[in-house]
């Protein structure tokens, strides 16, 4: 995402009648901003990948839990054919509600983690905006008469 400095110099000349050379110190700020932005993008990408892995692990655990619960449920159903049906039916209802609660908790945790990732991205956006604003401030401070 490198900025074309020649285009930038032309645009500044056209808009503000200010001439810059490619070795002007202001371009150091531009390069620093590009590097910081690239760094934050890499960090955010790594955070998203970690979030995806965590969600995959949680989904796998929820599926395993559900499969184990389903196996237990099947065994209990067979048992119900041989024992007191109403008692077993009540036990199965509680078991199923517990599994639903676990799945809901896993889903809530995944949404919370996604919300944290979204907030982190928003924070990174604010930082980039502040850095860009500071860079523009330095540019305009150097070019506008005091």
% pLDDT > 70, the chain: 95
In a domain, 116, yes or no: yes
pLDDT of residue 143: 64
% pLDDT > 90, the chain: 8
pLDDT of residue 46: 92
Question: Would you call 17 exposed, middle or buried from its count of C-beta atoms within 10 A (0-12, 13-18, 19+)?
Answer: exposed
In a domain, 60, yes or no: yes
pTM for the predicted model, two decimal places: 0.42
In a domain, 71, yes or no: yes
Q: Which domain holds residue 36?
A: 22-143
In a domain, 1, yes or no: no
In a domain, 56, yes or no: yes
In a domain, 44, yes or no: yes
Question: How many folded domains does the chain comprise?
Answer: 1
Angle of the 85-143 helix axis to the 26-82 helix axis, nearest 10: 180
**Ramachandran region, residue 83 (left: φ > 0; alpha: ψ -120 to 50; beta: rest):** beta
In a domain, 9, yes or no: no
pLDDT of residue 1: 58
């Amino acid at each position: 995402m490198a900025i074309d400095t020649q285009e930038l110099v032309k645009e500044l000349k056209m808009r503000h009648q200010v001439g810059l050379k490619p070795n002007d110190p202001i371009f150091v700020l531009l390069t620093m901003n590009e590097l910081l932005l690239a760094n934050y993008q890499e960090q955010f990408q790594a955070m998203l990948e970690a979030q995806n892995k965590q969600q995959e692990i949680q989904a796998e655990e929820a599926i395993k839990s559900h499969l184990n619960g389903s196996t237990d449920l099947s065994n209990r159903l067979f048992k119900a054919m041989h024992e007191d049906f109403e008692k077993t039916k009540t036990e199965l209802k509680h078991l199923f509600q517990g599994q639903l609660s676990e799945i809901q908790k896993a889903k809530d945790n995944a949404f919370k983690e996604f919300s944290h990732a979204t907030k982190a991205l928003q924070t990174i956006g604010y930082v980039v905006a502040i850095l860009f604003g500071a860079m523009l401030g330095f540019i305009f401070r150097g070019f506008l008469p005091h």
